[in-house]
Structure 1
Amino acid sequence: MKAFLTLVSLFVATLTLFPSLSQADNSSAKYGQQKVVYHINYDDAKKQSSTLRNIQNHINAIGEDNLDVQVVLHGNGLSLLLKPDALTNVPKFKHANADQTMAQKVDRLRMQGVKFNVCSNTVKGRNVNLERDLYEVDSSSLVPSGVAELAYLQTKGYVYLRP
Protein backbone atom coordinates (compact mmCIF):
# COMPACT_ATOMS: atom_id res chain seq x y z
CA MET A 1 0.00 0.00 0.00
CA LYS A 2 2.84 2.37 0.86
CA ALA A 3 4.49 1.67 -2.52
CA PHE A 4 1.18 2.41 -4.28
CA LEU A 5 0.79 5.75 -2.47
CA THR A 6 4.38 6.62 -3.35
CA LEU A 7 3.68 5.92 -7.03
CA VAL A 8 0.50 8.01 -6.96
CA SER A 9 2.39 10.86 -5.28
CA LEU A 10 5.13 10.71 -7.90
CA PHE A 11 2.54 10.73 -10.69
CA VAL A 12 0.77 13.78 -9.28
CA ALA A 13 4.09 15.55 -8.72
CA THR A 14 5.07 14.85 -12.33
CA LEU A 15 1.82 16.36 -13.59
CA THR A 16 2.31 19.49 -11.53
CA LEU A 17 5.92 19.85 -12.66
CA PHE A 18 5.04 19.43 -16.33
CA PRO A 19 1.60 20.95 -16.86
CA SER A 20 2.48 21.89 -20.42
CA LEU A 21 2.52 18.21 -21.41
CA SER A 22 -1.13 17.72 -20.64
CA GLN A 23 -2.01 21.19 -21.92
CA ALA A 24 -0.35 20.54 -25.30
CA ASP A 25 -2.47 17.44 -25.82
CA ASN A 26 -5.63 19.36 -24.96
CA SER A 27 -4.63 22.36 -27.06
CA SER A 28 -3.86 20.33 -30.17
CA ALA A 29 -7.27 18.71 -29.91
CA LYS A 30 -8.92 22.08 -29.44
CA TYR A 31 -7.07 23.96 -32.20
CA GLY A 32 -6.69 21.21 -34.80
CA GLN A 33 -4.66 21.83 -37.96
CA GLN A 34 -3.62 25.42 -38.66
CA LYS A 35 -1.92 27.28 -41.50
CA VAL A 36 -0.45 30.64 -40.51
CA VAL A 37 1.64 33.29 -42.22
CA TYR A 38 3.60 35.71 -40.06
CA HIS A 39 4.45 39.04 -41.70
CA ILE A 40 7.72 40.83 -40.85
CA ASN A 41 8.52 44.14 -42.55
CA TYR A 42 10.08 45.99 -39.61
CA ASP A 43 13.73 46.13 -38.55
CA ASP A 44 13.38 46.35 -34.77
CA ALA A 45 15.42 43.44 -33.36
CA LYS A 46 13.38 43.26 -30.13
CA LYS A 47 10.12 43.13 -32.05
CA GLN A 48 11.53 40.54 -34.46
CA SER A 49 12.73 38.42 -31.55
CA SER A 50 9.30 38.73 -29.96
CA THR A 51 7.69 37.56 -33.20
CA LEU A 52 9.96 34.51 -33.28
CA ARG A 53 8.99 33.81 -29.66
CA ASN A 54 5.31 34.08 -30.65
CA ILE A 55 5.90 31.53 -33.41
CA GLN A 56 7.60 29.16 -30.95
CA ASN A 57 4.76 29.60 -28.46
CA HIS A 58 2.29 28.86 -31.26
CA ILE A 59 4.15 25.64 -32.09
CA ASN A 60 4.34 24.70 -28.41
CA ALA A 61 0.60 25.20 -27.98
CA ILE A 62 -0.62 23.00 -30.80
CA GLY A 63 2.38 20.93 -31.90
CA GLU A 64 4.52 21.22 -35.00
CA ASP A 65 2.59 18.37 -36.67
CA ASN A 66 -0.60 20.42 -36.44
CA LEU A 67 0.88 23.67 -37.72
CA ASP A 68 2.12 24.93 -41.08
CA VAL A 69 3.97 28.21 -40.47
CA GLN A 70 5.38 30.49 -43.12
CA VAL A 71 7.16 33.77 -42.42
CA VAL A 72 7.25 36.42 -45.13
CA LEU A 73 10.04 39.00 -44.93
CA HIS A 74 10.21 42.08 -47.12
CA GLY A 75 11.51 45.62 -46.93
CA ASN A 76 13.15 46.38 -43.60
CA GLY A 77 12.03 42.98 -42.30
CA LEU A 78 14.88 41.40 -44.22
CA SER A 79 17.13 42.72 -41.44
CA LEU A 80 16.06 39.66 -39.43
CA LEU A 81 18.29 37.54 -41.67
CA LEU A 82 20.87 40.19 -42.52
CA LYS A 83 24.31 39.35 -41.13
CA PRO A 84 25.81 42.13 -38.98
CA ASP A 85 28.94 42.40 -41.14
CA ALA A 86 26.76 42.87 -44.25
CA LEU A 87 25.82 46.45 -43.36
CA THR A 88 28.90 47.74 -45.15
CA ASN A 89 27.69 46.02 -48.35
CA VAL A 90 24.05 47.09 -48.21
CA PRO A 91 23.78 50.71 -47.06
CA LYS A 92 20.02 50.78 -47.68
CA PHE A 93 19.59 48.86 -44.40
CA LYS A 94 19.97 50.51 -41.00
CA HIS A 95 20.02 47.28 -38.96
CA ALA A 96 21.41 43.78 -39.38
CA ASN A 97 19.90 41.54 -36.75
CA ALA A 98 21.14 38.05 -37.70
CA ASP A 99 23.59 37.81 -34.82
CA GLN A 100 24.32 34.45 -33.19
CA THR A 101 21.31 34.62 -30.84
CA MET A 102 18.84 35.49 -33.60
CA ALA A 103 20.36 32.87 -35.93
CA GLN A 104 19.84 30.19 -33.26
CA LYS A 105 16.18 31.17 -32.91
CA VAL A 106 15.71 31.03 -36.68
CA ASP A 107 17.47 27.64 -36.87
CA ARG A 108 15.31 26.22 -34.08
CA LEU A 109 12.15 27.29 -35.91
CA ARG A 110 13.38 25.95 -39.25
CA MET A 111 14.04 22.57 -37.60
CA GLN A 112 10.37 22.57 -36.60
CA GLY A 113 9.23 23.16 -40.18
CA VAL A 114 8.88 26.95 -40.24
CA LYS A 115 9.60 28.32 -43.71
CA PHE A 116 11.14 31.77 -44.15
CA ASN A 117 10.18 33.45 -47.45
CA VAL A 118 12.33 36.35 -48.63
CA CYS A 119 11.06 39.02 -51.04
CA SER A 120 13.02 39.02 -54.28
CA ASN A 121 12.06 42.65 -54.92
CA THR A 122 13.78 43.69 -51.68
CA VAL A 123 16.86 41.59 -52.47
CA LYS A 124 17.19 43.18 -55.92
CA GLY A 125 16.18 46.70 -54.90
CA ARG A 126 18.67 46.84 -52.04
CA ASN A 127 21.47 44.97 -53.84
CA VAL A 128 21.59 42.12 -51.33
CA ASN A 129 23.84 39.16 -52.11
CA LEU A 130 22.14 36.01 -50.79
CA GLU A 131 25.30 34.11 -49.87
CA ARG A 132 27.34 37.00 -48.55
CA ASP A 133 24.73 39.12 -46.78
CA LEU A 134 21.92 36.86 -45.56
CA TYR A 135 21.91 34.11 -42.98
CA GLU A 136 21.05 30.72 -44.52
CA VAL A 137 19.06 32.05 -47.46
CA ASP A 138 19.30 30.60 -50.93
CA SER A 139 17.23 30.95 -54.09
CA SER A 140 14.67 28.39 -52.83
CA SER A 141 13.72 30.87 -50.08
CA LEU A 142 12.96 33.67 -52.54
CA VAL A 143 9.44 34.67 -53.49
CA PRO A 144 8.81 37.16 -56.32
CA SER A 145 7.08 39.69 -54.05
CA GLY A 146 6.57 39.72 -50.31
CA VAL A 147 3.15 41.35 -50.42
CA ALA A 148 2.01 39.15 -53.30
CA GLU A 149 3.13 36.10 -51.30
CA LEU A 150 1.11 37.28 -48.29
CA ALA A 151 -2.01 37.63 -50.45
CA TYR A 152 -1.37 34.28 -52.15
CA LEU A 153 -0.96 32.40 -48.87
CA GLN A 154 -4.15 33.96 -47.53
CA THR A 155 -6.05 32.70 -50.59
CA LYS A 156 -4.67 29.24 -49.75
CA GLY A 157 -6.20 29.36 -46.27
CA TYR A 158 -3.30 30.75 -44.24
CA VAL A 159 -4.28 33.03 -41.38
CA TYR A 160 -2.42 36.34 -41.48
CA LEU A 161 -0.58 37.47 -38.33
CA ARG A 162 1.58 40.54 -37.91
CA PRO A 163 2.73 40.77 -34.30
Structure 2
Amino acid sequence: MKNLSWSALFFASLLSLISFASQAADENRYGHQKVVYHINYDDAKKQSSTLRNIQNHINAVGEDNLDIQVVLHGNGLSLLLKPEALKNVPKFKAANADTQMKQKIDQLKMQGVRFNVCANTVKGREVNVERDLYDVEKSSIVPSGVAELAYLQSKGYLYLRP
Protein backbone atom coordinates (compact mmCIF):
# COMPACT_ATOMS: atom_id res chain seq x y z
CA MET A 1 0.00 0.00 0.00
CA LYS A 2 2.88 2.29 0.86
CA ASN A 3 4.41 1.72 -2.59
CA LEU A 4 1.08 2.53 -4.20
CA SER A 5 0.82 5.92 -2.43
CA TRP A 6 4.40 6.79 -3.39
CA SER A 7 3.66 5.79 -6.97
CA ALA A 8 0.52 7.94 -7.00
CA LEU A 9 2.44 10.89 -5.54
CA PHE A 10 5.24 10.42 -8.08
CA PHE A 11 2.72 10.19 -10.95
CA ALA A 12 0.86 13.33 -9.77
CA SER A 13 4.16 15.24 -9.49
CA LEU A 14 5.18 14.11 -12.94
CA LEU A 15 1.86 15.29 -14.40
CA SER A 16 2.27 18.68 -12.69
CA LEU A 17 5.79 19.02 -14.09
CA ILE A 18 4.64 18.16 -17.61
CA SER A 19 1.75 20.61 -17.34
CA PHE A 20 4.09 23.36 -16.08
CA ALA A 21 6.63 22.69 -18.85
CA SER A 22 3.88 22.76 -21.46
CA GLN A 23 2.55 26.06 -20.11
CA ALA A 24 6.06 27.56 -20.07
CA ALA A 25 6.59 26.45 -23.67
CA ASP A 26 3.34 28.16 -24.69
CA GLU A 27 4.38 31.39 -22.94
CA ASN A 28 7.69 31.41 -24.86
CA ARG A 29 6.20 30.16 -28.10
CA TYR A 30 6.65 33.41 -29.98
CA GLY A 31 9.85 34.77 -28.43
CA HIS A 32 10.70 38.42 -29.00
CA GLN A 33 9.15 40.03 -32.06
CA LYS A 34 9.67 43.30 -33.93
CA VAL A 35 6.65 44.19 -36.05
CA VAL A 36 5.58 47.18 -38.13
CA TYR A 37 1.89 47.67 -38.91
CA HIS A 38 1.13 49.71 -42.03
CA ILE A 39 -1.96 51.95 -42.20
CA ASN A 40 -2.61 53.96 -45.35
CA TYR A 41 -6.42 53.67 -45.54
CA ASP A 42 -9.08 55.93 -44.03
CA ASP A 43 -11.86 53.44 -43.28
CA ALA A 44 -12.56 53.85 -39.54
CA LYS A 45 -13.85 50.27 -39.12
CA LYS A 46 -10.74 48.84 -40.76
CA GLN A 47 -8.49 51.10 -38.67
CA SER A 48 -10.29 50.04 -35.49
CA SER A 49 -9.91 46.41 -36.53
CA THR A 50 -6.18 46.96 -37.05
CA LEU A 51 -5.85 48.44 -33.56
CA ARG A 52 -7.73 45.42 -32.20
CA ASN A 53 -5.31 43.13 -34.08
CA ILE A 54 -2.40 44.96 -32.47
CA GLN A 55 -3.95 44.50 -29.01
CA ASN A 56 -4.54 40.81 -29.73
CA HIS A 57 -0.91 40.53 -30.84
CA ILE A 58 0.22 42.08 -27.54
CA ASN A 59 -2.09 39.78 -25.57
CA ALA A 60 -0.65 36.70 -27.27
CA VAL A 61 3.04 37.58 -27.16
CA GLY A 62 3.27 39.94 -24.17
CA GLU A 63 4.27 43.58 -24.30
CA ASP A 64 7.72 42.75 -22.93
CA ASN A 65 8.32 40.47 -25.92
CA LEU A 66 7.22 42.96 -28.56
CA ASP A 67 8.49 46.03 -30.30
CA ILE A 68 5.53 47.29 -32.34
CA GLN A 69 5.54 50.34 -34.57
CA VAL A 70 2.67 51.65 -36.66
CA VAL A 71 3.45 53.68 -39.77
CA LEU A 72 0.75 56.06 -40.98
CA HIS A 73 0.85 57.84 -44.32
CA GLY A 74 -1.57 59.10 -46.93
CA ASN A 75 -5.18 58.46 -45.96
CA GLY A 76 -3.97 56.47 -42.95
CA LEU A 77 -3.24 59.72 -41.16
CA SER A 78 -7.01 60.02 -40.69
CA LEU A 79 -6.60 57.63 -37.74
CA LEU A 80 -5.02 60.51 -35.79
CA LEU A 81 -6.97 63.34 -37.40
CA LYS A 82 -9.35 65.02 -34.95
CA PRO A 83 -12.93 65.25 -36.26
CA GLU A 84 -13.05 69.01 -35.66
CA ALA A 85 -9.90 69.40 -37.78
CA LEU A 86 -11.56 68.07 -40.92
CA LYS A 87 -12.59 71.61 -41.91
CA ASN A 88 -8.89 72.63 -41.85
CA VAL A 89 -7.63 69.86 -44.11
CA PRO A 90 -9.78 69.52 -47.24
CA LYS A 91 -7.44 66.87 -48.67
CA PHE A 92 -8.87 64.34 -46.18
CA LYS A 93 -12.29 62.69 -46.42
CA ALA A 94 -12.24 61.22 -42.92
CA ALA A 95 -11.13 62.23 -39.44
CA ASN A 96 -11.32 59.19 -37.18
CA ALA A 97 -9.70 60.29 -33.89
CA ASP A 98 -12.97 60.27 -31.98
CA THR A 99 -13.18 59.44 -28.26
CA GLN A 100 -13.25 55.65 -28.77
CA MET A 101 -10.35 55.67 -31.22
CA LYS A 102 -8.31 57.90 -28.91
CA GLN A 103 -8.85 55.44 -26.05
CA LYS A 104 -7.61 52.55 -28.20
CA ILE A 105 -4.58 54.56 -29.31
CA ASP A 106 -3.78 55.59 -25.72
CA GLN A 107 -4.08 52.00 -24.49
CA LEU A 108 -1.66 50.79 -27.17
CA LYS A 109 0.81 53.61 -26.48
CA MET A 110 0.79 52.70 -22.77
CA GLN A 111 1.90 49.22 -23.85
CA GLY A 112 4.82 50.60 -25.85
CA VAL A 113 3.32 50.82 -29.35
CA ARG A 114 4.84 53.69 -31.32
CA PHE A 115 2.84 55.56 -33.97
CA ASN A 116 4.95 57.08 -36.78
CA VAL A 117 3.53 59.86 -38.96
CA CYS A 118 4.73 60.59 -42.50
CA ALA A 119 6.15 64.11 -42.90
CA ASN A 120 5.40 64.00 -46.63
CA THR A 121 1.70 63.52 -45.89
CA VAL A 122 1.72 66.25 -43.25
CA LYS A 123 3.31 68.69 -45.67
CA GLY A 124 1.46 67.63 -48.81
CA ARG A 125 -1.95 67.72 -47.14
CA GLU A 126 -1.19 70.87 -45.17
CA VAL A 127 -1.80 69.33 -41.75
CA ASN A 128 -0.99 71.39 -38.65
CA VAL A 129 0.33 68.67 -36.34
CA GLU A 130 -0.41 70.49 -33.07
CA ARG A 131 -3.91 71.61 -34.07
CA ASP A 132 -5.17 68.78 -36.28
CA LEU A 133 -3.63 65.53 -35.02
CA TYR A 134 -4.23 63.65 -31.80
CA ASP A 135 -1.21 63.21 -29.52
CA VAL A 136 1.58 63.43 -32.10
CA GLU A 137 4.98 64.61 -30.93
CA LYS A 138 7.74 65.84 -33.23
CA SER A 139 9.72 62.68 -32.46
CA SER A 140 6.86 60.65 -33.99
CA ILE A 141 7.18 62.31 -37.39
CA VAL A 142 9.32 60.41 -39.86
CA PRO A 143 10.57 61.86 -43.18
CA SER A 144 8.62 59.37 -45.32
CA GLY A 145 6.11 56.69 -44.40
CA VAL A 146 7.13 54.38 -47.23
CA ALA A 147 10.83 54.88 -46.55
CA GLU A 148 10.19 54.20 -42.83
CA LEU A 149 8.49 50.92 -43.70
CA ALA A 150 11.50 49.86 -45.77
CA TYR A 151 13.93 51.04 -43.07
CA LEU A 152 12.15 49.13 -40.30
CA GLN A 153 12.00 45.98 -42.43
CA SER A 154 15.75 46.29 -43.05
CA LYS A 155 16.17 46.39 -39.25
CA GLY A 156 14.34 43.07 -38.84
CA TYR A 157 10.76 44.25 -38.34
CA LEU A 158 8.09 41.99 -39.81
CA TYR A 159 5.60 43.81 -42.03
CA LEU A 160 1.85 43.50 -41.41
CA ARG A 161 -0.95 45.32 -43.19
CA PRO A 162 -4.28 44.02 -41.90
Per the alignment, in what secondary structure is the counterpart of residue 55 of structure 2?
helix
- Within a 5 Å distance, the mapping from 1:6-21 to structure 2 comes to none
- Within a 5 Å distance, the mapping from 1:22-101 to structure 2 comes to 26-101=25-100
Name the counterpart of 1:126: 125
Stretches (4+) displaced over 2 A: 23-28
Q: Distance in 1 between matches of 2:104 and 2:155?
A: 27
Q: Distance in 2 between matches of 1:73 and 1:24?
A: 37
Instruction: Name the aligned partner's letter for residue 100 of structure 2.
Output: T
Per the alignment, in what secondary structure is the counterpart of residue 64 of structure 2?
helix
Instruction: Name the aligned partner's letter for residue 70 of structure 1.
Output: Q
Q: Distance in 2 between matches of 1:112 and 1:28?
A: 18
Shift of 1:158: 0.1
1:50-103 Cα distance to aligned partner (Å, 9 max, x none): 000000000000100000000000000000000000000000000000000000
Q: Distance in 2 between matches of 1:74 and 1:27?
A: 36
Larger radius of gyration: 2
Instruction: Name the aligned partner's letter for residue 128 of structure 2.
Output: N
Per the alignment, in what secondary structure is the counterpart of residue 71 of structure 1?
strand
Name the counterpart of 1:155: 154
Structure 1 residues 25 and 52, CA gap change in structure 2 (3 angstroms): farther
TM-score normalised to the size of structure 2? 0.85
Shift of 1:24: 8.5
Q: Distance in 1 between matches of 2:24 and 2:102?
A: 29
Structure 1 residues 27 and 60, CA gap change in structure 2 (3 angstroms): farther
Q: Distance in 1 between matches of 2:42 and 2:23?
A: 32
Which range moved further: 117-126 or 24-33? 24-33
Q: Distance in 2 between matches of 1:24 and 1:52?
A: 27
TM-score normalised to the size of structure 1? 0.84
Per the alignment, in what secondary structure is the counterpart of residue 30 of structure 1?
coil
Identical columns (%): 79
- Contact 1:24–1:60, Cα closer than 8 Å, also in 2: no
Shift of 1:28: 3.5
Alignment: residue pair count: 141
Structure 1 residues 61 and 91, CA gap change in structure 2 (3 angstroms): same
